[in-house]
Chain A
Amino acid sequence: NAGVTQTPKFQVLKTGQSMTLQCAQDMNHNSMYWYRQDPGMGLRLIYYSASEGTTDKGEVPNGYNVSRLNKREFSLRLESAAPSQTSVYFCASGTGAGANVLTFGAGSRLTVL
């Protein structure tokens, strides 16, 4: 089925470890996004990529890096995980820089001990 696929679904890390969340979309969308969702808070944008070859910081970029590998793939890296990064991470894609409708991946639940 067409959509957004993100891996892994679950991950437990120790403080200081690194990891990369992978995201791929097969809808030919230009824009891709990484959000985090925490209890009592709305989805917050970490980084986004308006088109292949560009990336920009969102609301909460500290502690994260991203790579837009090609039009389909957008990865999120935690270089040195901290307990404050325990969250559910969602990748999303949209049709353009002004795209309003986002399609989300199923989410990645990350716990940092």
Chain B
Amino acid sequence: RKEVEQDPGPFNVPEGATVAFNCTYSNSASQSFFWYRQDCRKEPKLLMSVYSSGNEDGRFTAQLNRASQYISLLIRDSKLSDSATYLCVVNPGTASKLTFGTGTRLQVTL
């Protein structure tokens, strides 16, 4: 089993739609969790951290379920500019062990 698994997509959604991605991880000792965004042929950039109680940043909501070992990202009112690949990142304790998922591709259309 991969350490971090994501549905590769693509998720094709119309502008204004709500879309959710899940990511599962295998290491139950994992301590911190993140979503990064990667535009085509660009570097990954931090989108948001994921906190145990769940957290929101504008149209983006991240949640963590430790019991089931998954994290989720919800995007409301999708914009064309949200089109990108979203990487799930899990840290089991030290940054040298950060594990990246392969990413979920989102395409928002008119």
Spell out A's residues near B (CB within 8 Å): 31, 33, 40-45, 48, 50, 56, 58, 90, 94, 96-102, 104-107
Provide 7 A-B residue pairs closer than 8 Å at the C-beta atoms, listed in order of the A residue.
A33-B96, A90-B44, A100-B98, A101-B34, A104-B45, A105-B43, A107-B43
Neighbouring B residues of A107 by C-beta, 8 Å:
41-43
For A99, give the chain B residue with the smallest CB separation: B95
B-to-A contact residues, CB < 8 Å: 4, 8, 32, 34, 41-46, 49, 87, 91, 93-96, 98-103
A97 engages B95 (CB within 8 Å) = yes
Determine how close the nearest CB of chain A comes to the CB of B71; give it in whole angstroms. Answer: 14
Tell me the smallest distance from the CB of B46 to a CB of chain A, in Å: 6
Determine how close the nearest CB of chain B comes to the CB of A108; give it in whole angstroms. Answer: 11
Told that A31-B96, A43-B87, A98-B95 touch, could you supply 13 new A-B pairs with CB distance under 8 A? A31-B95, A42-B4, A42-B87, A42-B100, A45-B98, A48-B95, A56-B96, A90-B43, A96-B95, A101-B46, A101-B49, A104-B44, A104-B45
A102 to B41, CA, bound (A): 18
Q: Chain B residues near A97: list those with CB within 8 A.
A: 94-96
Q: Which residues of A contact B103 (CB under 8 A)?
A: 42
Q: Return chain B residues, CB-CB under 8 Å to A104.
A: 43-45
Structural contact, A42 and B99, CB atoms closer than 8 A:
yes
Q: Are A48 and B100 in contact (CB under 8 A)?
A: no
Query: Are B42 and A48 in contact, with the CB atoms below 8 A?
Result: no
Closest Cβ of chain B to A15, distance in Å, is 25
